[in-house]
Structures are given as C-alpha cells and as structure tokens.
A and B are shown apart, each in its own frame.
Chain A
Amino acid sequence: MTTASPRFANRWKHVNLVRKVVLTLAFTPLLLLPTATIYQHFLAAHAYDMLPAGDRRLYDVMFWLTDWFITDPDQFDLVKGTTWAATLLGYKISDPLAVVSQLSARFHLFWPLAASAVIPLLFTMLFGRFFCGWICPANLLYELADTFGAILREAGLPLGDRRFDRRLKYLVLAVGIAASAVLGNVVMSPIYPPAIVGREIYYTIAGTAAGAGTAFFAVTVLFDLLVAKRGFCRYLCPGGALYSLLGRYRLVRVQRQVSLCNDCTKCNRACMFDLDPMADGFGQECNNCAACIAVCPTGSLSFALAAKDAAPQGPGHLGAGFKRARKRGHAGESKN
C-alpha cells in the first residue's frame, strides 16, 4: 500500500531540486560581480598590455563572457550589489531587514529605501520565509556545511545536535532593533550572515582581503556543526525572524493530506528549520523549501493556497497507529 503508485505521484516532488538550482543561481552573481568589477577597472584603464599573466587570463575570460553585450565599461554599473541590497538595471532591491534597521536607528523612513524593499515584501507575504531557502547565500553555505556534518556524523564524530527554543530569534531581532535605536547605528547588518557572505566574497575577490566578517561567519558555521544543527538559521537569525513574522499569513504553503500520510517522520527529519510537517506544524517559520515534499514516500505533502495551516489532523491514515485505532473503532471513518 505504501509503495509508489500513480495515485501518489506528486507534481511538487522536484521543487526542492529546483530550489537548490535557484539557490546556486542566486549565489553565482556574488562571485561573478566582483570579478566583473576587476575586469571593469582593467577595461576602463586600457590596461591589458600592463597586466600580469593571471590577470590577463581573467581579462580574456571576462572579455569572452561579456563582449557581446558590453560596449562601455560603465555598463557594469547597471548590476551591482549583493543579496542584502542590489541595483539591477537601475532598480534597487533591498532586504526588508535593512529598512527595519535603518528605521530603528534614525526613527525616520527613507522612502526610496522602503520602496526598494516592496518587491521582497510582497514575495514574502506570498511565499513566506522563501528568502531563507531560495536566495540566502549564507543558507547555501550552511546547507553544504550541514551535508558535510552529516558525513562527519556518519564517520562517527560526535557533532552537536542541541535544540533550543526557536523563538530565540525573535528575541535577537528585538534586541537588534533596540540596540539600533539606543546606539543610533545600523548594528544588525555587520552581523547578519547573508549580508556578510556577499560582502566578504566581494572583499576577497575585488578588495584587498577578507575581513573579520569571515571569521564571524566561520564561527556561526562552527556553531551549526558543533553545537546545534542548522543552529543559526533556526534559533538566532534576525532576518529569518523578520521574514517569519512577515510571512505568517503567506498564501502558498505546504499542507499534508492526512489520508496519504503513513507517519514515517522522514519529513520532520528533513526539515531544515526543525518544524513538524508530520503533525501539520508548519507555522510561520516554514520557508517553502519543499525538502519534506521531496522525501515523502507517499506523496502526502504538497503545496496549497491557504492563508493558514490546516488544523492538526491526527495520525496519518496509512500509519500503523491510525489502523490500530480504527480496528478498535476509535478513529473516524473519514478515510477516502
């Protein structure tokens, strides 16, 4: 009964794979843009004849990549920035946390900045905490570190898997806002991993050297590995807290079809944010990453349009617990 059959075919099965591709595609510009900036400087300076061999190779590759659409080095200025704040063809897109930080630091809304966060805000209200799973460059590295951690665990290393209260990150957000207001300073940005990753890659490639932000990020990765699995995203990230709050009534969310669920708990183990898909406990923190959908053996999880989670539906109808209860006549006859 639990074997795969056409009945269980789920069209959302591969969304998680698509997400990983999107995540990688969102990360690539962080490597390409600094390289393009170096090339832009070479181009503007007409410096080809003076370049050492390594830079000349970079020039050749970038020339080959961009010559068909770049006629003027200034055109590289049309696309700048990181996932924290970017300029795309003259339009500006910023992280809502940047707007919140600035607002709390100076008690005054700078309207162009607020306008640049409207598109992320709308997407968040539609898809919830999607930024964390689909765009965040730090998440890509944390996921890789998590995979690496799984290998280390397999090899027998005693890595930490402590659980804390997931509401801790709302406290971090509140403390960050309060500290910004008290100090009159945007203090959340330098310790916000998605912003750090973009900046530090830029410093490393196009600047002089990586800064202390790299060390801070390395500490968070070690925290993930040694103390709590995916700990920073789950318990500490202020951006994740803000996106969770904004995405509380998201319209696109994962839902469980109880008649197909067999209580195997694979979804709960796959969830990067330690949520409880098997008991309909998605809540405001789900980032629609679809990892639970990908591992579900019976196809009981799928995307749905709803502003709220389904009420807890009890044990899955394909599971042993439900069958036992039904045999005793306790469960409803709503099996369809």
Chain B
Amino acid sequence: MTATSDSSAPDGKASVMGRRYFVKLMGALAAGAAGAFPAETAWAAAPHETIKLRFLRPPGAGAETDFLATCIRCGQCGQVCPNQAITYFGLNDGLGVAETPYIIPRQQACILCMKCGEVCPSGALEKIPAQAGPILSRVRMGRAVVDTRLCLSYNGKTCGVCYRACPLQDVAMTCGMYEQPTVTDACIGCGLCERACISMVQAVRILPAMDKNQKS
C-alpha cells in the first residue's frame, strides 16, 4: 500500500516498505519508547535528585552536575574536616553519588575553615582562602531560610542563638529588636545557624544551592 502511493519509487519496483514510511515508523517507535519511560523515572533523574535527604556539598563546590563529573571520590576532604561535618554517600545511595562528600547541617555544620578545598586534588572543591572576602564571594553552599511560625523570636520569646552562631554576623544575618533573624543575600549556607537552633524542629534551615552557579 505504501509502496504504490510512494511517488519516490519511479522505477515501479514494489518495495514492501518505503524509506519514508520506515523513518516514520522508527520515529513513532522512538516516541513510544520515550513515552513508556518518562523522564521522571529514577534512572533518568540527576543522581542527587534521587536522594531523599536535604544535604549540602562542602564549600567551594560548583554546580551539582559539574561536581559529580569532577570529584574523584578520594575522601580527603572528610579526612581533613576538623569539625567532622563532611560525610559520604555510599554505593547504597546509588552509583551516581556514591562516595561523594556531603554535609547535613543539623548534624554537623561547616565552620568555613576551607581545609577541604586546600586538600582536594580534583578541582571539585575550589581552593578558597579562609578569609571573609573570598568566602563571601565564592562559597555558595545554600541559603538559610527562617520559618517565622517556628522561630521563638518571632513568637514572643527572645532567642537570637542563630544570629550568635552565624560566622558572618550582620552580613549574612541581621536581627531585630527582639532578636528576630533576617537572612540577607550574602548568606552562603554554612549551616551553623541551623545547627545551633534551639527549636525542635529547627526554625532555620539551609536550602541547598545545587544548581546555582557558584560565582555570583
């Protein structure tokens, strides 16, 4: 049927399947296959998106895709981390993120000593001097978000623990008359405020900056 209607067969030879029909069929098959395996399946998602955990990368890490392609999984950043904040995913978390470093700020936050970037051989963690200027301009782990419904200072009890824990006081976090914290755009997401928050559940959390460009 297709062969007779196909004007591109001038010699009249009856081919069972014309080339154009074949291409269309393959296209339909490919579209069907793509429909059968939607992009939301776990294997098609970026590796870090399958982790059901809010985690930060160590300071100096770039965008997540770059980080996964650059980190050689040597484990030296965790070995030099004086605060033991850096821990590692295992093979059970998926091959994509296996043995990569992460920080759970509520458990142990980054104190911005920048030793991990110093020891990193692969370039996955940028070498940043442990000074306020370079840290403010080049570290981007995430950004603190205050939940005013949970925060004691916003609910009539003067607390201010997060403000006092912040290593970049009055730059990354300011506070009001009753110690109500306000996070500024300078926040780099070290997580010391979340670690220090005395509210259970914590009223301040770090939103990880996974896909943001490191240099702002």
Contact = CB atoms under 8 A, between A and B. Distances in A.
Contact of B119 (A80, A110, A184, A187): A80
19 contacts: A34-B79, A41-B84, A44-B82, A77-B115, A77-B119, A80-B79, A81-B74, A81-B75, A94-B72, A106-B66, A110-B70, A184-B68, A184-B69, A185-B69, A186-B73, A206-B79, A208-B87, A212-B90, A213-B91
A186 B69 contact: yes
B123 interface: yes
Interface in A58-111: 77, 80-82, 84-87, 92, 94, 98, 101-102, 105-106, 110
Interface in A93-138: 94, 98, 101-102, 105-106, 110, 112-113, 116
Contacts of B121: 85, 87, 92, 94, 98, 112-113, 116
Interface residues of A, number: 45
Interface stretch (B11-19, B28-36, B94-102): B94-102
B72 A101 contact: yes
A258 to B, nearest CB: 45
A307 interface: no
Given A185-B47, A206-B79, A191 B95 contact: yes
B79 A84 contact: no
B89 to A, nearest CB: 8
A85 to B, nearest CB: 4
Contacts of A105: 68-70
B47 A207 contact: no
Contacts of A113: 72, 121-123
Contact of A186 (B72, B80, B91, B119): B72
Interface string B117-158: 001011100000000000000000000000000000000000
A195 interface: yes
Contacts of A101: 72
Given A199-B99, A213-B91, A213-B99, A41 B72 contact: no
Nearest to A45: B82
Given A206-B79, A213-B90, A187 B95 contact: yes
Nearest to A202: B75
A96 to B, nearest CB: 11
A72 to B, nearest CB: 12
Given A33-B79, A37-B79, A110-B123, A195 B73 contact: yes
Complex A-B, nearest 6 residue pairs according to Cβ-Cβ distance, in ascending order: A211-B90, A85-B74, A190-B98, A212-B91, A106-B69, A189-B73
A315 interface: no
Nearest to B79: A80
Given A110-B123, A190-B98, A84 B74 contact: yes
A41 B78 CA distance: 12
B84 A189 contact: no
A110 to B, nearest CB: 4
Interface of A: 33-34, 37, 41, 44, 77, 80-82, 84-87, 92, 94, 98, 101-102, 105-106, 110, 112-113, 116, 183-187, 189-191, 195, 198-199, 202-203, 206-208, 211-213, 215-216
B121 to A, nearest CB: 4
Nearest to B122: A113
Contacts of B80: 77, 80
B74, B80, B92, B123 — most chain A CB neighbours (10 Å): B74
A198 B75 contact: yes
A190 B73 contact: yes
Contact of A189 (B65, B69, B92, B99): B99
Contacts of A34: 79
Given A98-B74, A110-B123, A199-B73, 10 more contacts: A81-B74, A81-B79, A84-B73, A84-B75, A106-B70, A116-B121, A189-B74, A199-B75, A207-B78, A213-B90
A187 B91 CA distance: 11
A211 B88 contact: yes
A203 B115 CA distance: 19
B174 interface: no
A41 B79 CA distance: 11
B204 interface: no
B76 interface: yes
A190 B99 CA distance: 6
B166 interface: no
B92 A94 contact: no
Contact of A187 (B76, B96, B115): B96
